[in-house]
Amino acid sequence: MSLDDLYRRVIMDHYQRPRNRGRIEDGAVTVDLNNPTCGDSISLQMRVEDGVIQDAKFLGEGCSISLASASMMTEAVIGLSPEKGLELVDLFSRLMQGEEVDMEQFPLEDIEALTGVAKFPARIKCATLAWKALEKGLKEKH
């Protein structure tokens, strides 16, 4: 199996079995974003308490890349400080721009499956939508 095939399988796994899909009932920051060029939309909710992202959930509609990225992002940020979450947003943005990034800085190895998206500029907005929602929510909260 090639690395591209493996990455496709990881993306499809997160798309078909998204982690942290749903709503947080109370005490959550909510950010709704959409990508009008392709129709992707996300509603991200997160609860930050005691300087830690305690929970993050999302609902949305979109392509496999958009929803898989949201699933991976929520898994990666739960348990981190908002500052570390913003660092990951910056790292992910640089990764999507095709920059060399130390993948070991990401707390979730699955994120590496999205590296190929940088080759397709039209898909970068799909992959970054959830991360932009995270950035907006963390900046509003703090």
Q: Where are the domains of the chain?
A: 3-141
Type of residue at 33: L
CA angle 72, 104, 142 (to 5 degrees): 60
How confident is the model at residue 142, as a pLDDT? 59
Using pLDDT thresholds of 50, 70 and 90, give the confidence band for residue 53.
very high
Q: What phi, psi does 10 have (nearest 5°)?
A: -65, -45
- Global pTM reads 0.94
Closest CA to 131 of 31, 19, 52: 31
Helix (H) or strand (E) holding 61: strand 52-61
Taking each continuous run of H as one helix and of E as one strand, the counts in the chain are 4, 3
Tell me the average pLDDT across 95-103: 90
SS3 state of residue 105: helix
Q: Are 96 and 73 in contact (CB under 8 A)?
A: no
Query: 3-141 belongs to which CATH class?
Result: alpha beta
How confident is the model at residue 12, as a pLDDT? 95
Tell me the average pLDDT across 10-17: 96
CA–CA distance, 97 with 113 (Å, rounded to integer): 15
